[in-house]
Structure 1
C-alpha cells in the first residue's frame, strides 16, 4: 500500500463566510470562489478527496498551515486529522467529520491569538507502517482575520450589534471644516473590494512587520498608523498641504479608499496625495478589512503641541504683531488645525493596567515621530481623558490635541523670560470631537453625526477637566513653567471679536471687535484687524485684507472697530476648502494691557445633487443626473465629476461636464447598471479650474426585475 495522494482540497468559501461574518468580501461571492476568508478562534469546514479510499486504521493525514516565508512556532499550525479531536481556543485542531470512500470532511479550529494574514496549506500523508511521505501544496489563499465576535479575541466588542457599523459597514462620513460649518464628507471605505486584503498584506510586508506579531492588535494598529503615510518606509500615501497636486490626485478629489489601495498595490509606489481625512479613511478600510473595529474621528480646533508643554503658544511683538515662529522652540512652532481627523480602534489592552481597554486613538497623519518613526497610538481614550500620560502610546500628544490651553505671549523686555502673558484660553482647543453614528447614513444632512467629546475629555471648565490636564502638566517640567505664569493676569478693558457664522461663496462679510472700558479713565487703544486665507492645518496662505488704527475709549464707554471684506477681495486668494481666519489684536497705550483673538470659518459651497430618472432594477441600465448651481460670478471650466459606488459595474467613474456659465447649472449624466440588490451608496466629488472640493452622496434602493 502506498501513502494517500491528494486529488483535491476544498474549503467551501461561501459556506464558511456565512458563519465567519466574511460573506461581504467580493472574492467569496464569485461564481466559483478560490479564496477562503475566515476569522480566528472559530472552526471552519473543508474536504479532501484522495486517489484511493481513506483507511482510518492505516492512513495518517497531516495539515500544515504556515504564514510567511520562514514559518516559526507562532506562524505555523501542524495538525493531524482525528475523529475525536476536541477544539481548543489556544491550539490548532483538525477533526474528522465524515468519511465517504476516498473523501474526508473535516473541521479546522485555529488559536484565538493566531497571527492574521494570508496562510498557506500543505497536506502531508503517510502510512502508520512506513516513513514514506506524499506532499500536496494547496494553491489557493486562506485569509485568517481578527474575530471581534469571539469573546476570547483581543478585539472582541461586547455589543456585537455595533460590529455591523465598525467592521461591516463599507461607507461612512468624515466631518471636515471649521467648527461652525463642519459637515460630513461621505467616504467609501470599500473594505470588501478584491484589491483590499492583498493591499493590506503588501502594506504589512512593506512595513517589515514580523509575522509572529501580526496577531497583536496593539502592535498591528501602531504599524498601520505608520505605513498608511509614506514618511518612513514608502507607505501608502504622500501627505501634502500646499495646494500643489498637479502630479497626483488632489486630496479633495478622492471619494474613498479603494482607488488608493488598488493603485498602491498595482504600482508598489506611494500614492500622491493625502491629508488627514484621507489617511483616516484608508486606516478604517484596512482595520475593518482585517477585522479590527474602527471609526473615523474628527477633532474640531485641534492642537499640534510641538514642544510637549501641553499648551499651544502664540507669540507677538511688543506692539502686538503676530510672530510666525516660536522663539522658545527652534524645531517648530505650535499650530492649531481647523480640524484634524484620526481613528479610534477597539481592543482590550492586556499590556496596560485594567481600565484602559476599549477605544484607542491612532493617527496616521505624519506630524511628530514616536519612537523615531511617524506613527501615533494606540492611545487609550480613558488615559487621554484622565491625563495619564505615562501609558503607551502617545497619550501626551493626543491629550494636547484635544485639551491643550491656548496661551498668548507678548515680547516684554522687563519680564524675566523676555515675554509676558497676554491671555490664556482653556476652552479653545478640542471644541468638539465627532464621528459617524452607528446604523445611520445621511448622505446630505447631519442626522448621522455623533458627538463623542465626552469620551475624550471631561466637560470644559469642570474641575475634572482641569484636573485631567493638570495631571498631565504634573508629569512635565516644561508644562509646569508655562502654567505657573498663567495665574497672574488682570485687565480693565474687555475685547470681543464677533464670530462670523456662515458666508456663502461670493458674499461679502464684516469683521467687528467690541471694546468695553470698565475703568474710570479713558484709554487709547491701538488695534489691528485682518482676514487671511488659510490651509486647514492652520498654515497661512495669503492676507486678504488688513487694517490698523487707533481708537479712544472713554471711561465706562463702548466702542467698536470693523472692516468690510468683499468677495472680490477674497476670491482670488482662497485656497482649497475655502477656510478663512480673522484675527484681531489690540494694546492699550496707558497700561500696556494687550489682547488678541482669532476665529476660523469657511466660505460655503454648494453640494452635488444626485437624482435618478427611474427606479433602479438589478442588471438594467439607468441614468444618474449629477448637478449643482455655479455660485460664482464667473464661468467654470475644465469640469469633472468623480463617482464611486460598490453597487455598479466599475469602481470609480470620471465624468467630464460642459463649462458652466456664471450662476448656471453644472450637470452631467452617468449611465449606471446596478449589480446587487438592496441599498447602494453613491459618493461624488467635483472639480474645475475655478472651483474645487464640491461633494455629494445619495443612498438608493435596487429592486428585482
Structure 2
C-alpha cells in the first residue's frame, strides 16, 4: 500500500483562539480564517484528512514543526501522532484523539519555553517497514506566542485579570507635558490588526535575533528596544526633535501604532518621525501582540545622565550665566527632559538573583548606547528602586533618569576642581512616574491616571531613597567624586521662583522671584530672569524675554523682581508642544552666594471634542463631528484632522479643513461606518501651520441594527 496522502490540514483558528486568549486578532475572525494564533505551553487542536482511510496498525503520521529556514534542536518539533501520549510541559507531543475513516483529530502540546514566531508545518507519512514517504507542506500561517496566562511561562502574571489591560487592551494613554500641566494623550495600539504580527516578524528578522533566542523575553525585549528606533539595523522609527518634519509625519500627528507598522512593513524603510511616546506606543503594540505584558511609563522631569555620575550637572560662569555645555564631559552635557516616556514589560528574571522579576524598564528612544547599540533594558524596577546597578541591563542609566540629584556648579578659580557648588536639589528629578490605570479609559479627563512613582523609588527625602541612590553612588568612582563636594558657602539670602499656574495660549504671564534677606546687613543682589521656548527634551529653542538688573535688599527685608511676558512676545517663538522654561539666577555681591532655579510649564491648548448626533448602528454610515475653538488672534491655515478607531471601516481617516478665522471654531464632519458592536474608542489629532498638537478622544457605544 502507498503512504497516506494529505488532502487537508485544519487548525480550527476560531475555536483555538477562544481558549488561547487570541480571539481579538483580526486574522482569526475572517469568514474563512487561514491564520492560526495560539500560545505556547498550551494544547491546541487540529484535524488532518487523507485521500484514503487511515490504518492504525500500519500508517505512520509525523508532524514536523519548524521556525526559520535553518531549524535546530530548539526551533523544531518532530512528533508522531499517537494515542498513548503523556504531555510534558517541556516537550512537543501530538495526541491522536479520534479516527473517523480518513480523518484524524489530534491535540498538539508545545514546550512552555518555545521560541515565538510564525511556525511552518510539514506532514510526513509512511508505512511501517517501508521507506517510501509522502510529504505535505501546510501553507498557512501558524503563530505561536508568549503565554502570560501559563504559570510555567516566563511572562506569567499571577493576577491574570491584569492581562486584560497589559496584553489585551488595544487603546491607551500616554502622559505628556511638564509636571504641572501633564495630560493623557490617547494612543491606539491596535496590536490585533492584521498587519501587526507580520510587521513584528519582519522587525525581528531585520534585527537579526537568532530564532532559538526568541523564546526568552529578556533577549526579545532588549532587541525590541533596539529595533523600534532606526539608529541600528534600519529599525522602525527615525527619531527627530527639531520641529522640522516636512519630509515625513510629525510625531504629534500620529494617532497610534498601526499606521507606523503598516508603513514600515510595506516600504521596508524606516518611518519618519518619532519621539519618546511614539517609540513607547509602538513598543507596547509589539510586546502585547507577541504576548509580553507591557505598559507605557511617563517620567516627569526626567534626567539624561550623559557621564554616569548619577547626577545632572548644570554649569554657570563666574557671573552666573548658564553654560550650554559640560566642561567635564566633552561627549555631551547632561540634560533634563520635561518628561520622558519608556515602557515596562513583565517577566521573571532567571538570569538575575532572586527578587528582581516583575516589571522591567525598557526604552526604545535612542539616547545612549548600551553594549555598543541604541538599546536599553530590561532593567528590573526592584533593582532601580534599591540602587543595585550591577545587575543587567542599564539599571544605572534608569536610576539616574528617575532619581539623580540636580547639582549646579559655578566657575570658581579658587576651587580645587575649578568649580564650586551652587546648590544641590534632591527632589527635582523624577517628580512623578505615571502610567494608565488598568480597566479604565477616560477620553476627556485623567481618571485613568495611575501614579507608580513608588515602584521606581522610595519616597523622596526618606532614608531609604537616599540609601538607594548612595548605594548606586558607591559603585561608581565618578559619582563618588561628585557627591563628595560639599558646599560651604554662606547662604543668608533666600530666593524663591514662584510657580506659574495655567497659562492658556494667547494669554500673558508673569515671572516672579521673591528675595528675603535673613541677615542683619544690607545686601546687593545681581539677578537675571528669562523666559525661553524649549523642546520637551530640554533643548532650548528661542529666547522670548530676558531682564537683568541689581536690587538692594535691606537687613531682614523682602523684595521681589518680576517680568511680564505677553502673548506677542512668545507666540512667534513657540515650538511644538508649547513648552516654556523660566530661569532665574542671582549672585550676592557681598558674600558671593549664588543661586539659580528654573521651571518648566506648558502654554495650554484646547482639546478636540468628538460628537455624534445620532446613535451608532453597526454597518450604517454616520457622521462624526470634530470641533474646538481657535484660541489665537490669527487665522489657521493648512488644517487637517486625523481620526482613528479599530471599530470603523478604514481605521484611520484624514480630513482637510478650510482656513479658520481668528478666534473662530475649527470644525469638521467626517463620515464613519462602525463595524464592531459594543464600546469603541476614537482618537483624534489636528494640525495646521499656526497651531499643532491638538488632541481628543471619545468612547461610544455601537448598537445592533
Structure 1 unmatched ranges of 5 or more = none
Deviations 1:533-585 (A, max 9, x none): 00000000000000000000011000000000000000000000000000000
Q: How does 1:490-529 map to 2 (within 5 A)?
A: 490-529=490-529
The answer (yes or no) to whether the contact 1:641–1:686 under 8 Å persists in 2 is yes
Q: Does 1:176 align with 2:176?
A: yes
**Displacement, 1:487?**
5.3
**Displacement, 1:489?**
4.6
CA distance in 1, matches of 2:700, 2:154: 36
> SS of the residue aligned with 1:178?
coil
Tell me the residue number matched to 2:167. Answer: 167
CA distance in 1, matches of 2:19, 2:490: 67
**Displacement, 1:84?**
1.2
**Displacement, 1:660?**
0.9
The answer (yes or no) to whether the contact 1:636–1:689 under 8 Å persists in 2 is yes
Tell me the residue number matched to 1:465. Answer: 465
Q: How does 1:442-461 map to 2 (within 5 A)?
A: 442-461=442-461
Deviations 1:24-62 (A, max 9, x none): 000100000000000000000000000000011100000
Tell me the residue number matched to 1:358. Answer: 358
Q: TM-score, normalised by structure 2?
A: 1.00
The answer (yes or no) to whether the contact 1:635–1:660 under 8 Å persists in 2 is yes
Tell me the residue number matched to 2:342. Answer: 342
Tell me the residue number matched to 2:189. Answer: 189
**Displacement, 1:488?**
3.5
Q: How does 1:256-655 map to 2 (within 5 A)?
A: 256-486=256-486, 488-655=488-655
Q: How does 1:11-30 map to 2 (within 5 A)?
A: 11-30=11-30
**Displacement, 1:659?**
1.2
CA distance in 2, matches of 1:644, 1:133: 52
> SS of the residue aligned with 2:115?
coil
The answer (yes or no) to whether the contact 2:64–2:122 under 8 Å persists in 1 is yes
CA distance in 2, matches of 1:566, 1:668: 31
Count the aligned residue pairs: 705
Tell me the residue number matched to 1:684. Answer: 684
> SS of the residue aligned with 1:398?
helix
**Displacement, 1:658?**
1.6
Deviations 1:581-637 (A, max 9, x none): 000000001110000000000000000000001000011111110000000000111
Q: Does 1:126 align with 2:126?
A: yes
Tell me the residue number matched to 1:205. Answer: 205
Tell me the residue number matched to 1:36. Answer: 36
CA distance in 2, matches of 1:489, 1:104: 86
CA distance in 1, matches of 2:488, 2:536: 33
> SS of the residue aligned with 2:119?
strand
The answer (yes or no) to whether the contact 1:229–1:364 under 8 Å persists in 2 is yes
Deviations 1:436-465 (A, max 9, x none): 000000011000000000000000000000
CA distance in 2, matches of 1:65, 1:383: 39
Once superposed, which parts of structure 1, at least 4 consecutive aligned residues long, lie more than 4 Å away?
A: none
CA distance in 2, matches of 1:329, 1:520: 41
> SS of the residue aligned with 2:279?
helix
**Displacement, 1:86?**
1.3
> SS of the residue aligned with 1:355?
coil
Tell me the residue number matched to 2:221. Answer: 221
Tell me the residue number matched to 2:98. Answer: 98
CA distance in 1, matches of 2:247, 2:658: 24
The answer (yes or no) to whether the contact 1:126–1:134 under 8 Å persists in 2 is yes
Q: Does 1:657 align with 2:657?
A: yes
CA distance in 2, matches of 1:522, 1:179: 37
Deviations 1:389-417 (A, max 9, x none): 00000000000000000000000000010
Q: TM-score, normalised by structure 1?
A: 1.00
> SS of the residue aligned with 2:264?
helix
Q: Residues 455 and 137 from structure 1, CA distance in 2 versus in 1: closer, same or farther, beyond 3 angstroms?
A: same
Structure 2 unmatched ranges of 5 or more = none
Pairwise CA RMSD:
0.5
CA distance in 2, matches of 1:651, 1:214: 31
**Displacement, 1:516?**
0.5
The answer (yes or no) to whether the contact 1:423–1:486 under 8 Å persists in 2 is no
> SS of the residue aligned with 1:400?
helix
The answer (yes or no) to whether the contact 2:67–2:211 under 8 Å persists in 1 is yes
The answer (yes or no) to whether the contact 2:421–2:487 under 8 Å persists in 1 is no
Tell me the residue number matched to 2:60. Answer: 60
Deviations 1:359-415 (A, max 9, x none): 000000000000000000000000000000000000000000000000000000000
The answer (yes or no) to whether the contact 2:40–2:147 under 8 Å persists in 1 is yes
**Displacement, 1:190?**
0.1
The answer (yes or no) to whether the contact 1:424–1:486 under 8 Å persists in 2 is no
